[in-house]
Structure 1
Amino acid sequence: MKYRTLGKTGLDVSVIGIGTWQFGGEWGIQFTQDEVDAILDKGQELGINLIDTAECYGDHLSESFIGNYIGRRKREDWVIATKFGHHFHERFTRTDVFNAADVLKQLDASLKALNTDYVDLYQFHSGPDQVFDNDDLWTMLDKQVQAGKVRHLGTSIGSNDNLHQTEQSTKVNSQVIQVVYNRLDRKPEERVFPSCEKQNLGVLARVPLASGYLSGKYKPGAVFDNTDVRHRHDPENTRRKLEEVEEIRRNEVPQGVDMAQWALAWCLKNPIVSAVIPGCKNPAQVESNAAAAQLL
């Protein structure tokens, strides 16, 4: 495993992290604690120390799986990033809630679920600019940093071209930007990444495998059934993506190199990217993801 410093936070994170949206059930898979334990144990064995989650991955469900695991391991071995701003109701149904009082309740609920006294990174989660520009919110969050409940603040931007929230990071003491970035979606290179570099912000690349399209598993013409989250994607977009992936496979991926590993390493070859946070459904996928670090 290789490690990079997460911008001005000073945290050293594994370049491959573990994204945990899937633990909330929206991948169409219901995880057990034993399955989560096996995934996180494999990650630790391979040198991964970064876990990214959110309060709305299930109703604190993903956090609870992680907290149960952490309670039986060493907390200091992990950099735990979570997020705020939504109440989960049911699969794919959330309500935005970004007012300061409610976010404080969300933080306390996240700490309880995660079985910890502090989170390493607490991220504003894909909210609009009008709720981001709320001094009361950031003042409250700064107080939580001073109290030791949060080590660092970050922003997970909903649009991968949200320059406003990126540019305001230093002002609100947000030290990390999380953004969709992958070989099919390079938009952050234009404006977001230069701003991150200028401010020395850490960058977490989410959806680095483009929702699995860059995994190498799917050929043009693939059809996803209604148990698969990709069933919700626009069919024409899916067709175009699969055709582009086939071209990338032919023209860019070296012979004999696993495409998913290549795609993760592709993100990390941009020096502004601190870490990628792919999801995974079993220890074998964790192992495959971790192997991407060898391609750097």
Structure 2
Amino acid sequence: MKYRTLGKTGLKVSVVGVGTWQFGGEWGRAYAQQEADAILNRAQELGINLIDTAECYGDHLSEELIGKAIQGRRNDWIVATKFGHHFHRNFDRTDVYDPQDVVRQLELSLKALKTDYVDLYQFHSGPDAAFDNDELWEILNRQVQAGKIRHLGISIGSNENLHQTSRASAVNAKTIQVVYNRLDRKPEREVFPSCAEQNLGVLARVPLASGMLSGKYKPGSAFAADDVRSRRDAAQLERQMEEAEAIRRDEVPAGTDMAAWALAWCLNNPVVTCVIPGCKDPEQVAANAAAVELVKAGHPQDD
């Protein structure tokens, strides 16, 4: 495994992390505790030390599975979670960025994770109006001072949200999480230059374009009703699968796993600190980790 410094946090993170939206049950299957344990145990064996989750991946369900899985070895992990939503049922959640409620959300996350602190607490894809509430950031920074949060971050909803990115340092946020992959390069235009200027750590989410860059889906593929991808625009998904097929044919070297290539493609950008792909089982964890073999040396954030 390779490690990089996550911007101004000073945290040394594995370049490949574990995304855990799937633990919440919106990606076509439910997870038992033993399955979450197996995934995170394999990740640790491979040198992965970053877990990304959220309050609304289930009703703190993903966090609960993680908390039980890493109990007794909390200090081995960098745990990133998020705030801003109340989960009601699959695919149904309400935005809640009220400062006092966010503190309650934090307490619920800490309880679920079985910890007294989170390493990274991220504003979760909220609107600019909620982001611009100074009281929210004041109360969050008090939680930092109290030791319940080590660092603040912003998970921008639109991967072109320069407003929130540009104000990160002003609110004491030290990281940006953003959708970035070979099919979606919009952050390169404005978001990444702002991140570089502020020395923000960058977590690239959806680095496999929701599986489109995994090499597993061909044009015409369909998704089950309990898979979040079934709720997306069918024509857009088809275009993505067609473009991914062209990338596989024209850009991925023969004999190279497409998923590993796609993750390394993200990691070779000088602004990207780490990728946080999801994984359905320990085998996918290992396949994701293999991307480090394709990552070029000399990255500005290399540890």
TM-score band by shorter chain is over 0.9
Aligned to 1:149: 148
Q: How does 1:182-261 map to 2 (within 5 A)?
A: 182-261=181-260
Aligned to 1:129: 128
SS of the residue 1:98 aligns to: coil
Aligned to 2:301: none
Using the TM superposition, give the Cα deviation of residue 228 of structure 1 relative to its aligned residue in structure 2, in angstroms.
3.0
Deviates further, 223-232 or 172-181: 223-232
Aligned to 1:112: 111
Distance 1:91 1:223 in 2: 19
Q: 1:84-107 deviations in whole A, cap 9, x for unaligned?
A: 000000001111110110000000
Aligned to 2:4: 4
Q: Which amino acid aligns with 2:149?
A: V
Aligned to 1:24: 24
CA contact (8 A) 2:51 2:78 kept: yes
Q: Which amino acid aligns with 1:34?
A: Q
Aligned to 1:53: 53
SS of the residue 1:215 aligns to: coil
SS of the residue 1:214 aligns to: coil
Q: Which amino acid aligns with 1:22?
A: Q
Q: Which amino acid aligns with 2:202?
A: V
Q: 1:55-94 deviations in whole A, cap 9, x for unaligned?
A: 11101100001111122x3111000000000000000111
Distance 2:78 2:44 in 1: 11
Q: 1:240-292 deviations in whole A, cap 9, x for unaligned?
A: 11111111011100000000010000000001100000001100000000000
Q: How does 1:73-84 map to 2 (within 5 A)?
A: 73-84=72-83
Q: 1:79-136 deviations in whole A, cap 9, x for unaligned?
A: 0000000000000111111011000000011011100010000000000000100111
SS of the residue 2:291 aligns to: helix
Distance 2:272 2:220 in 1: 32
Aligned length: 295
**2:70 equivalent to 1:70:** yes
Q: 1:198-250 deviations in whole A, cap 9, x for unaligned?
A: 00000000000000000001122223332432222212112211111111011
CA contact (8 A) 2:38 2:281 kept: yes
CA contact (8 A) 2:28 2:224 kept: no
SS of the residue 2:62 aligns to: helix
Distance 1:168 1:278 in 2: 26
Q: Which amino acid aligns with 1:172?
A: V
Q: Which amino acid aligns with 1:129?
A: D
SS of the residue 1:246 aligns to: helix
Deviates further, 119-128 or 234-243: 234-243
Distance 2:133 2:211 in 1: 35
Aligned to 2:180: 181
Distance 1:229 1:74 in 2: 32
Give the TM-score, by structure 2 length. 0.96
Q: Which amino acid aligns with 1:145?
A: V
Deviates further, 269-278 or 223-232: 223-232
Aligned to 1:40: 40
Distance 1:29 1:181 in 2: 25
SS of the residue 2:104 aligns to: helix
- Which structure 2 residue ranges, 5 or more long, are not aligned? 296-303
Distance 2:259 2:19 in 1: 15
Aligned to 1:159: 158
Q: Which amino acid aligns with 1:42?
A: R
Distance 2:247 2:276 in 1: 21
Give the TM-score, by structure 1 length. 0.98
Q: 1:137-188 deviations in whole A, cap 9, x for unaligned?
A: 1000111101100000000000000000000001000000000000000000
Distance 2:74 2:234 in 1: 43
Q: Which amino acid aligns with 1:193?
A: F
Distance 2:242 2:268 in 1: 24
Q: Which amino acid aligns with 2:38?
A: A
- Which structure 1 residue ranges, 5 or more long, are not aligned? none
Distance 1:249 1:28 in 2: 25
